[in-house]
Structure 1
Amino acid sequence: MLEQTYLEKDELQKLVDIAFAGCSKGRVPEARTVFAKILEAVPGYIPAKVGLAFTHVVVDDFPPADEMLTDLLGEDPDNDDARGFLVLSKFLQKDGDAVDALMGEFRDHDSAGYRLASSLNDVTR
Structure 2
Amino acid sequence: MSSEVTRKRRPSEILKRGYSEKELDSVYSLAKFSLQSGNIRRAEIIFKGITEVAPEYYPAWLGLAYVHIETADFDPAVFCVRQALRVSPSSVESLLYLISILLTTKDYGTAGSYLGEVGDLIKAKPVSPNLEKFYEIQLIRYQNRES
Q: Give TM-score, length-normalised by structure 2.
A: 0.65
- CA positional deviation for 1:50: 1.8
Could you tell which deviates more after superposition, 67-76 or 26-35? 67-76
Which sections of structure 2, spanning at least 5 residues, go unmatched? 1-14
What is the aligned partner in structure 1 of residue 4 from structure 2? none
CA RMSD of aligned residues (A): 2.9
1:110 aligns with 2:124: no
The correspondence for 1:78, drawn from 78, 90, 98, is 90
Distance 1:83 1:35 in 2: 19
2: CA distance, partners of 1:99 / 1:52: 20
Residue 41 of structure 2 is aligned with which of 29, 37, 49?
29
Which is helix-richer, 1 or 2?
2
Task: Determine the structure 1 residue equivalent to 2:55.
Answer: 43
Q: Which has the larger radius of gyration?
A: 2
1:103 Cα shift? Answer: 1.0
Does the alignment pair 1:66 with 2:78? yes
CA–CA distance in structure 1, aligned partners of residues 106 and 38 of structure 2: 22
Match of 1:16 in 2: 28
SS in 2 for 1:105: helix
Query: RCO greater where, 1 or 2, for CA within 8 Å and sep 6 or more?
Result: 1
Q: 1:114 to 1:102 in 2, by over 3 A?
A: farther
**Cα deviations across residues 40-98 of structure 1 (Å, max 9, x unaligned)?**
33232111122112211111100111123234324532122211111121232243333
Question: For residues 18 and 92 of structure 1, do their structure 2 counterparts lie closer, same or farther at Cα, with a shift above 3 Å needed?
Answer: farther
**Which stretches in structure 1 are left out of the alignment for 5+ residues?**
none
Cα 1:73–1:41, aligned 2, differ >3 Å: closer, same or farther? closer
Identity over aligned residues, as a percent? 23
> Normalization by structure 1: what TM-score?
0.73
